[in-house]
C-alpha cells in the first residue's frame, strides 16, 4: 500500500504524528471533520496549532482541565502514545494487507486486525488473520473429523487442531494469530511494509508432493451384465511325452499320455504311465483327478496327496477344504496341494509403537515413498496400524515395512525411521480365521495287469486350523492310516521378537511320534539361525554377514555326526565378478565352489569329497548366456577323470516363457575310460513341441555309447484345434479366457468365415477387472486374445479409445466365468456405425437453422429407436451411430423429402443427404 505525500512548509515543525482514530475533536472541529477524518485514506492526520510555526498533537481531553504548558502537554502525549502502542487492545484496527507466499502474491488484499507505525509492524505476533484466508493461501486442505477437530493437510504438514482454540473476531470471524501460524502451523511469517503484505515462508515451499496413500482397488461389479459361462464339459488339451534311450544294443521307449479338460466348473486330469510305448498291456493310469477350487472352498475326487504324512501307498478318495475368513495362496500350477490350499495368501498384522503426541506417523513398504497409511498420534502417545497385509511362501517369506515419524506433523522435518519386518510362516493364519479339511478314501497299489490297479485299506481324517492370536496359529486333527493317529500343528511368530516356529506332529505311529519342526531366529539382517528336526535327524545352520560381500556360516547334522564351518565371498564390478564359498566339516570333508568372470572369460570350479569339476569358458558374444562360446572342461570322480573341449551355441530368440529357441553343444572328450564325441541339441521353435537329443560317446565312468531323445508334443482341442503349450499342465489349477473381438458386418452376432477378428490396440480396447489387459500377459494371435488366469468370475470392459473406426460394440461390458481345465470363449461383435450428414433447406432453397432432424427405425423386436440432431446456422446436421435398417427422416416431427434412407451392409459408413421441407 502506498502512502500519500504530506506537503510541509519549511517554517513548520513536526512534533509528533498520531493515528487518526485517537483524535479528540472539539465541538467546533467535529462538525467540520466528518467529511475528512472518519474514513481517512491514510492513517495519520495533522492539525495546525494557533501557535505560529508549530503543529501540535490533539490529545485526549483531561478531566481536570488543568492548564499545562505546551511542552508538558507534548511530553504527556508521548507517554500516552507509547503506552497505547504497548496495549494492542487500544491500537489494533482493521486494515487491508496482501498475502504473499515467498515472493509470489497469492491474495492482493484481505482485511486483518493489526497495527503498524509507518516503518514496521507493531506487536506482529498478536495480529489476527482470517483463518480461511490463511489456509487458502498456504494451500492447506481442511477436514472436519467426527470428533469435531479440524485436520489440516498440505504437502509439508499434517496437523489436527481444536476449532475452539481459535479466536473469533466480531468483524473478521474465525481468526488465527501470527504467533499460532508460526508455532502451530510451523510457517515462518513476516510483514513487508514496502509491499504492505504479510509474507509466509512455509518450509515445504517448492517441495514436491510425495505419493499419496495407496489407492483402493475399484470394486468389480458384475450385476446387470450379460453373463458368459464356462463350458459345462470340455476336452481342452492332450500331451504326450516320449523318451527313447539307447545304450549299446539295448533300446527302451517309455512315455506319459496326459489329458486335461473342464467339467462342472472344475478341471479333470488323467495321466497314463507308459512303461513301454509298444506294449499297451503294461499301461496304467497313474493319476485321475477332478478338482474344483474356489476362494472359499476346494473339492477333490480321485488321486491326491494326503494332508498328513502318509504311511505309504497312493491315496485315492474325496477331500474338501473349507476356508473361513481368508483366501488361499495363489496356485503356481499343477494339481491339488493340501498344505498350499490351507495357507493364507495374506496375514493381517498390527504395527504399533510409541511417539510424542502430534507426531505424524506414516507407514511405507520397502524403500519406496508410497504411503500405505498414516496417523496423527493423539494424547495417548500410541500409534497403531491394524490389518496390514503381510505374506510369503516358505520360512523366510516376508514383507518389509517402514514407519516414518515426523515431529509435530512437519513433513519437511527429517523423520525418524523404524523398520517393521514380518515373516509369514506357511500355515499361519490371521487371528479369527480358520480352515477345515476332511478327507476319506482308499489305498491304491499299481499292478502290471490292471489299468487302475488294486484298492484296499481305508484311510481318512479331519483337521482344523485356527488363527488364535495375531502371533499364534494352532491346528489339531484325527487321522486313520493303518491305525488311529493324532495330529497337532503350531505356527508361532511373535510381533516384536525375531523368532519363527513351525511344528507338525503325528502321534501314534510305529515310531511313536513322527514330527517336523522348523525354528528360525533372526535378530538382525546380518545374522540368522535355523534349526530343523524330524525323525531322521536334527540340523542347524547359522549365517553371519561380517562385512559387505563376506559371510561366515556354521552347520551341524546329527545323522552324519558332523559339524561344519565355512565362508562365502562375492564381489562384482562392471567387467568383473567373483564368488567363492568353502566349507570343511569334522570328518575333514572339504567342499568348495568358485565362479569368476573377467570380461568374456569365465571360470567355474567346484568339488567335494567325491568328485571335482572345472570349466574355463570364453564367450564370443557380449552376453554370457547367449551366442557362441568355447569351453574347456575337466572333471574327476574317485579314480576316473575326463577332459573335454566343446563349442556351445544358444540363440538370442526366446519363446514366451524365456526359453531359447535353439541350443547346440558339440565337443570331444578324453579320459581314463577312453575318448569320444559328446553332442546335444534342443529346440522350442515349434509351439507346443519340445525336442531334446543327446549323444555321449564317453563319460567319466564309462566308454559305452548312449543316445537319448526326448519329445513332448501337445495340442489344444478346445476352443480350437491348435498346437499346444509346454506348460499345459498348469490348466489343472487355472483356466483361460479366449476373447475374440470381430467385425460383425451382417450384425447376426456370430463369427462367420469371412468376418475378421480385430486384434489392434487391444491394450486400449480391453480391460479385465478394471485393470489393463497387459497385466495378464495376453497371448495374441489371429484367433483372438488368450489369457490364462485363476478360476473366478471376471468383468471385461471395452474402452471407446480402442474401438475400430466406424464400428461400435453391441455390448460394452461382460461378466465372464473362468473354470479350471479349459477356456471360456467370448465373442465380442462390433457392428458398423453409420453417419448420415447433410443440410436442411426450405422451399426457397435456403438453409434452415435450428431445425430438429430425426432418424426413426423399428428394430427386429419392434422397439422404436430415434436418433436426433439440430441444424446449425448453415442448416447442417449429423446423425451418428446409426445401425443397419430402414430409417424415416423427420424434420421438426414432419416428414421430409426424401422421407426414408436405407442402410445395409453394402452402404458406406458416411451417407450424405439434402432434406427439403
Q: Is residue 891 part of a domain?
A: yes
- Which residue did the predictor score with more confidence, 360 or 861? 360
Count, residues in the chain: 917
Residue 391 pLDDT class (50, 70, 90 cuts): low
> Looking at residue 8, what is its pLDDT?
39
Q: Is residue 443 part of a domain?
A: no
- Return the exposure string of 402-419: e unless at least 16 CB atoms fall within 10 Å of the residue's CB, then b: bbbbbebbbbeeebeeee
Closest CA to 490 of 479, 476, 507: 476
Tell me: do 642 and 655 sit in the same domain.
yes
> Looking at residue 722, what is its pLDDT?
83
Domain boundary among 144, 167, 200: 200
The domain spanning residue 821 has which CATH number?
2.60.40.10
- 456 CB-contact burial (10 Å; exposed 0-12 / middle 13-18 / buried 19+): exposed
HEC per residue, 320-352: EEEEECCCECCCCCCCCCHHHHHCECCEEEEEE
Region of 41 on the Ramachandran plot (φ > 0 left; ψ -120 to 50 alpha; else beta): alpha
HSE (side-chain half, CA atoms, 13 Å) at 71: 0
Cα–Cα distance measured from residue 340 to residue 328, given in angstroms and rounded to the nearest whole number: 7
Residue 692 pLDDT class (50, 70, 90 cuts): very high
Domain boundary among 356, 389, 423: 423
Residue 765 has pLDDT above 80, yes or no: yes
Domain boundary among 42, 66, 86: 86
Tell me: do 81 and 103 sit in the same domain.
no
- Which residue did the predictor score with more confidence, 30 or 262? 262
Query: What are the pLDDT digits (tens) for 605-653?
Result: 999 989 999 999 999 987 777 899 999 999 998 889 999 999 999 998 8
Tell me: do 171 and 103 sit in the same domain.
yes
Tell me: do 123 and 183 sit in the same domain.
yes
> Looking at residue 77, what is its pLDDT?
46
Query: Greatest CA span in the chain, whole angstroms?
Result: 143
When pLDDT is averaged across residues 346-369 and rounded to a whole number, the result is: 81
HSE (side-chain half, CA atoms, 13 Å) at 766: 30
- Which residue did the predictor score with more confidence, 662 or 26? 662
Q: Is residue 816 part of a domain?
A: yes
> Looking at residue 445, what is its pLDDT?
86
Tell me: do 759 and 852 sit in the same domain.
no
8 A C-beta contact, residue 701 and residue 222:
no
- Which residue did the predictor score with more confidence, 349 or 444? 444
Q: Please, which residues bridge with residue 719 across strands?
A: none
Most confident stretch, 21-30, 152-161, 828-837: 828-837
> Looking at residue 389, what is its pLDDT?
76
Which single residue is written with the C-alpha cell 522350442? Answer: 684
Residue 36 pLDDT class (50, 70, 90 cuts): very low
Q: How far is CA 844 from CA 39, 581, 847, 917, in A?
A: 69, 99, 9, 10
> Looking at residue 85, what is its pLDDT?
45
Set of cell numbers at residue 242 = 516320449
Supply the DSSP string of 539-595, one letter for each residue: EEEEEEEEETTEEEEEEEETTTTEEEEEEEEEEE-SSEEEEEEEEEETT--EEEEEE
What are residue 119's phi and psi, to 5 degrees?
Answer: -125, -25
Residue 159 pLDDT class (50, 70, 90 cuts): confident
> Looking at residue 422, what is its pLDDT?
66
Cα torsion 324, 330, 336, 342 to 10°: value is -30
Residues near 767 by beta carbon (within 8 Å), at least 6 away in sequence: 773, 796, 797, 799
SS3 490: strand
When pLDDT is averaged across residues 9-32 and rounded to a whole number, the result is: 38
Set of cell numbers at residue 389 = 497385509
Residue 128 has pLDDT above 90, yes or no: yes
Tell me: do 144 and 48 sit in the same domain.
no
8 A C-beta contact, residue 21 and residue 92:
no
Residue 62 pLDDT class (50, 70, 90 cuts): very low
Q: Is the pTM of this model over 0.75?
A: no
Residues near 294 by beta carbon (within 8 Å), at least 6 away in sequence: 791
Cα–Cα distance measured from residue 468 to residue 463, given in angstroms and rounded to the nearest whole number: 15
Residues near 626 by beta carbon (within 8 Å), at least 6 away in sequence: 650, 651, 652, 660
Q: Is residue 523 part of a domain?
A: no
Tell me: do 196 and 167 sit in the same domain.
yes
Residue 250 has pLDDT above 90, yes or no: no
When pLDDT is averaged across residues 575-583 and rounded to a whole number, the result is: 93
Q: How far is CA 709 from CA 252, 512, 692, 693, 802, in A?
A: 11, 47, 6, 5, 47
Tell me: do 736 and 821 sit in the same domain.
yes
Tell me: do 774 and 705 sit in the same domain.
no
Number of domains in the chain: 6
Query: What are the pLDDT digits (tens) for 713-747?
Result: 999 898 888 888 878 888 898 899 999 999 998 88
Residue 394 pLDDT class (50, 70, 90 cuts): very low
Query: What are the pLDDT digits (tens) for 473-502?
Result: 999 999 999 899 999 999 998 877 889 999
When pLDDT is averaged across residues 799-815 and rounded to a whole number, the result is: 91
SS3 495: coil
When pLDDT is averaged across residues 286-292 and rounded to a whole number, the result is: 94
- Which residue did the predictor score with more confidence, 35 or 173? 173
Cα–Cα distance measured from residue 442 to residue 42, given in angstroms and rounded to the nearest whole number: 103
> Looking at residue 142, what is its pLDDT?
85
8 A C-beta contact, residue 509 and residue 485:
yes
Residue 51 pLDDT class (50, 70, 90 cuts): very low
* Ranges 66-70, 328-332, 544-548, 883-887: which has the least confidence: 66-70
Residue 206 pLDDT class (50, 70, 90 cuts): low
- Using DSSP bridges, classify how beta strands 150-154 and 894-903 pair: parallel, antiparallel or unpaired: unpaired
> Looking at residue 374, what is its pLDDT?
84
Q: How far is CA 449 from CA 279, 284, 446, in A?
A: 12, 9, 9
Q: Is residue 501 part of a domain?
A: no
When pLDDT is averaged across residues 447-463 and rounded to a whole number, the result is: 87
Q: How many CB atoms lie within 10 A of CB 66?
A: 7
Query: What are the pLDDT digits (tens) for 848-895?
Result: 999 999 999 987 777 888 899 999 989 999 998 888 889 999 999 888
> Looking at residue 395, what is its pLDDT?
39
Handedness of CA 216, 218, 220, 223 (dihedral sign): positive
> Looking at residue 158, what is its pLDDT?
84
Closest CA to 701 of 669, 731, 723, 728: 669
Residue 338 has pLDDT above 50, yes or no: yes
Cα–Cα distance measured from residue 127 to residue 302, given in angstroms and rounded to the nearest whole number: 83
Residue 785 pLDDT class (50, 70, 90 cuts): very high
When pLDDT is averaged across residues 415-420 and rounded to a whole number, the result is: 81
- Which residue did the predictor score with more confidence, 356 or 218? 356
Q: What angle do CA 81, 83, 87 make, to 5 degrees?
A: 110
Tell me: do 669 and 739 sit in the same domain.
no
Cα–Cα distance measured from residue 429 to residue 451, given in angstroms and rounded to the nearest whole number: 41
Supply the DSSP string of 700-767, one letter for each residue: SS----EEEEEEEEEEE-SSS-EE--TTGGGGGT-EEEEEEEEE-TT-SSS--TTPPBP-SSHHHHEE
Q: How far is CA 762 from CA 737, 801, 866, in A?
A: 14, 10, 31
Q: Give percent of the chain above pLDDT 70.
A: 86
Residues near 828 by beta carbon (within 8 Å), at least 6 away in sequence: 739, 740, 741, 742, 798, 809, 811, 814
Cα–Cα distance measured from residue 93 to residue 111, given in angstroms and rounded to the nearest whole number: 10
Question: How much is the mean pLDDT over the chain?
Answer: 83
Query: What are the pLDDT digits (tens) for 510-523?
Result: 888 889 999 999 88
When pLDDT is averaged across residues 667-675 and rounded to a whole number, the result is: 93
Tell me: do 46 and 101 sit in the same domain.
no
> Looking at residue 84, what is its pLDDT?
45
Q: Please, which residues bridge with residue 721 across strands?
A: none
Domain that holds residue 100: 91-200
Q: How far is CA 220 from CA 55, 65, 737, 842, in A?
A: 83, 87, 17, 53
Tell me: do 59 and 74 sit in the same domain.
yes
When pLDDT is averaged across residues 187-208 and rounded to a whole number, the result is: 86
Q: Is residue 459 part of a domain?
A: no
Q: Is residue 692 part of a domain?
A: yes
> Looking at residue 482, what is its pLDDT?
87
Q: Is residue 291 part of a domain?
A: no
Amino acid at each position: 500500500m502506498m502512502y500519500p505525500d504530506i506537503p510541509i512548509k519549511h517554517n513548520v515543525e513536526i512534533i509528533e504524528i498520531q493515528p487518526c482514530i485517537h483524535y479528540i475533536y472539539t465541538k467546533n472541529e467535529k462538525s467540520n471533520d466528518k467529511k475528512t477524518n472518519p474514513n481517512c485514506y491514510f492513517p495519520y492526520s495533522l492539525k495546525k496549532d494557533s501557535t505560529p510555526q508549530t503543529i501540535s498533537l490533539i490529545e485526549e481531553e483531561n478531566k481536570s482541565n488543568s492548564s499545562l504548558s505546551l511542552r508538558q502537554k507534548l511530553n504527556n502525549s508521548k507517554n500516552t502514545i507509547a503506552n497505547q502502542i504497548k496495549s494492542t487492545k487500544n491500537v489494533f484496527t482493521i486494515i487491508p494487507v496482501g498475502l504473499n507466499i515467498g515472493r509470489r502474491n497469492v491474495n492482493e488484499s484481505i482485511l486483518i486486525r493489526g497495527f503498524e507505525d509507518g516503518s514496521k509492524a507493531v506487536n506482529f505476533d498478536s495480529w489476527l488473520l482470517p483463518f480461511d484466508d490463511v489456509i487458502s493461501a498456504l494451500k492447506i486442505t481442511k477436514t472436519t473429523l467426527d470428533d469435531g477437530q479440524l485436520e489440516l493437510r498440505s504437502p509439508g504438514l499434517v496437523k489436527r487442531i481444536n476449532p475452539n482454540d481459535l479466536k473469533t473476531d466480531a468483524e473478521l470471524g474465525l481468526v488465527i494469530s501470527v504467533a499460532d501460524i508460526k508455532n502451530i502451523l510451523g510457517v515462518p511469517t513476516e510483514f513487508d511494509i514496502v509491499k504492505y503484505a504479510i509474507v509466509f515462508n512455509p518450509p515445504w515451499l517448492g517441495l514436491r508432493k510425495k505419493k499419496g496413500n495407496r489407492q483402493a482397488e475399484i470394486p468389480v461389479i458384475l450385476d446387470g451384465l450379460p453373463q458368459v459361462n464356462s463350458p459345462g464339459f470340455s476336452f481342452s488339451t492332450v500331451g504326450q511325452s516320449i523318451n527313447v534311450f539307447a545304450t549299446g544294443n539295448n533300446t527302451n521307449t517309455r512315455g506319459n499320455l496326459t489329458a486335461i479338460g473342464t467339467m462342472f466348473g472344475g478341471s479333470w486330469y488323467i495321466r497314463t504311465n507308459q512303461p513301454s510305448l509298444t506294449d499297451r498291456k503294461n499301461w496304467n493310469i497313474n493319476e485321475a483327478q477332478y478338482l474344483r477350487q474356489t476362494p472359499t472352498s476346494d473339492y477333490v475326487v480321485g488321486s491326491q496327496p494326503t494332508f498328513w504324512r502318509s504311511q505309504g501307498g497312493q491315496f485315492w478318495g474325496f477331500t474338501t477344504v473349507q476356508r473361513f475368513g481368508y483366501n488361499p495362496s495363489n496356485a503356481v500350477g499343477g494339481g491339488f496341494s493340501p498344505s498350499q490350499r490351507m495357507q493364507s495368501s495374506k496375514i493381517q498384522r498390527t504395527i504399533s509403537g510409541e511417539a510424542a503426541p502430534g507426531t505424524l506417523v506414516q507407514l511405507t513398504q520397502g524403500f519406496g515413498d508410497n504411503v500405505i497409511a498414516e496417523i496423527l498420534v493423539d494424547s495417548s502417545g500410541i500409534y497403531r496400524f491394524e490389518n496390514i497385509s503381510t505374506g510369503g511362501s516358505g520360512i523366510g517369506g516376508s514383507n518389509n515395512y517402514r514407519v516414518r515419524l515426523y515431529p509435530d506433523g512437519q513433513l519437511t522435518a527429517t523423520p525418524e525411521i523404524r523398520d517393521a519386518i514380518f515373516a509369514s510362516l506357511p500355515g499361519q493364519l490371521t487371528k479369527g480365521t480358520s480352515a477345515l479339511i476332511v478327507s476319506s478314501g482308499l489305498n491304491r497299489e499299481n499292478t502290471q495287469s490292471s489299468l487302475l490297479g488294486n484298492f484296499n485299506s481305508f484311510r481318512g481324517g479331519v483337521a482344523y486350523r485356527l488363527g488364535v492370536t495375531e502371533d499364534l496359529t494352532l491346528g489339531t486333527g484325527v487321522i486313520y492310516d493303518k491305525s488311529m493317529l493324532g495330529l497337532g500343528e503350531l505356527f508361532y511368530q511373535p510381533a516384536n521378537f525375531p523368532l519363527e516356529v513351525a511344528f507338525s506332529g503325528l502321534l501314534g505311529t510305529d515310531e511313536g511320534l513322527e514330527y517336523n519342526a522348523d525354528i528360525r531366529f533372526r535378530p538382525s539382517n546380518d545374522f540368522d539361525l535355523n534349526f530343523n528336526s524330524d525323525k531322521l535327524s536334527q540340523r542347524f545352520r547359522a549365517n553371519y554377514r561380517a562385512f559387505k560381500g563376506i559371510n561366515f556360516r556354521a552347520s551341524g547334522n546329527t545323522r552324519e555326526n558332523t559339524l561344519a564351518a565355512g565362508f562365502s565371498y562375492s564381489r562384482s564390478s562392471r567387467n568383473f565378478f567373483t564368488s567363492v564359498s568353502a566349507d570343511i566339516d569334522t570328518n575333514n570333508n572339504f567342499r568348495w565352489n568358485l565362479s569368476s568372470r573377467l570380461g568374456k572369460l569365465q571360470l567355474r570350479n567346484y568339488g567335494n569329497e567325491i568328485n571335482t569339476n572345472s570349466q574355463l569358458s570364453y564367450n564370443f558374444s557380449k552376453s554370457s548366456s547367449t551366442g557362441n562360446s568355447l569351453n574347456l572342461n575337466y572333471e574327476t570322480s574317485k579314480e576316473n577323470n575326463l577332459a573335454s573341449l566343446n563349442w556351445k551355441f544358444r540363440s538370442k530368440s526366446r519363446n514366451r516363457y524365456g526359453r531359447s529357441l535353439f541350443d547346440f553343444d558339440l565337443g570331444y572328450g578324453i579320459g581314463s575310460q577312453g575318448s569320444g564325441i559328446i553332442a546335444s541339441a534342443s529346440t522350442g521353435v515349434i509351439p507346443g513341441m519340445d525336442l531334446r537329443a543327446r549323444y555321449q560317446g564317453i563319460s567319466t565312468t564309462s566308454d559305452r555309447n548312449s543316445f537319448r531323445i526326448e519329445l513332448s508334443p501337445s495340442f489344444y482341442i478346445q476352443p480350437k484345434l491348435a498346437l499346444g503349450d509346454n506348460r499345459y499342465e498348469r490348466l489343472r489349477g487355472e483356466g483361460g479366457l479366449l476373447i475374440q473381438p470381430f467385425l460383425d458386418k451382417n450384425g447376426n452376432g456370430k463369427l462367420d468365415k469371412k468376418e475378421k477378428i480385430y486384434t489392434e490396440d487391444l491394450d486400449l480396447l480391453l480391460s479385465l477387472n478394471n485393470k489393463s489387459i497387459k497385466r495378464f500377459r495376453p497371448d495374441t494371435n489371429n484367433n483372438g486374445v488368450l489369457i490364462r488366469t485363476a478360476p473366478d468370475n471376471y468383468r471385461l470392459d471395452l474402452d471407446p479409445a480402442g474401438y475400430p473406426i466406424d464400428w461400435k460394440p453391441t455390448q460394452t461390458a461382460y461378466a465372464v466365468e473362468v473354470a479350471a481345465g479349459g477356456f471360456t470363449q467370448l465373442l465380442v461383435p462390433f457392428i458398423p456405425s453409420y453417419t448420415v450428414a447433410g443440410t436442411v433447406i426450405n422451399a426457397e432453397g435456403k438453409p434452415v437453422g435450428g431445425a430438429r432432424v430425426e432418424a426413426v427405425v423399428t428394430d427386429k423386436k419392434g422397439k422404436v429407436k430415434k436418433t436426433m440432431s439440430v441444424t446449425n446456422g448453415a442448416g447442417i446436421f449429423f446423425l451418428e451411430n446409426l445401425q443397419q435398417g430402414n430409417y424415416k427422416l423427420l424434420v421438426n416431427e414432419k416428414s421430409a423429402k426424401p422421407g426414408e434412407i436405407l442402410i445395409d451392409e453394402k452402404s458406406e459408413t458416411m451417407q450424405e443427404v439434402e432434406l427439403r421441407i
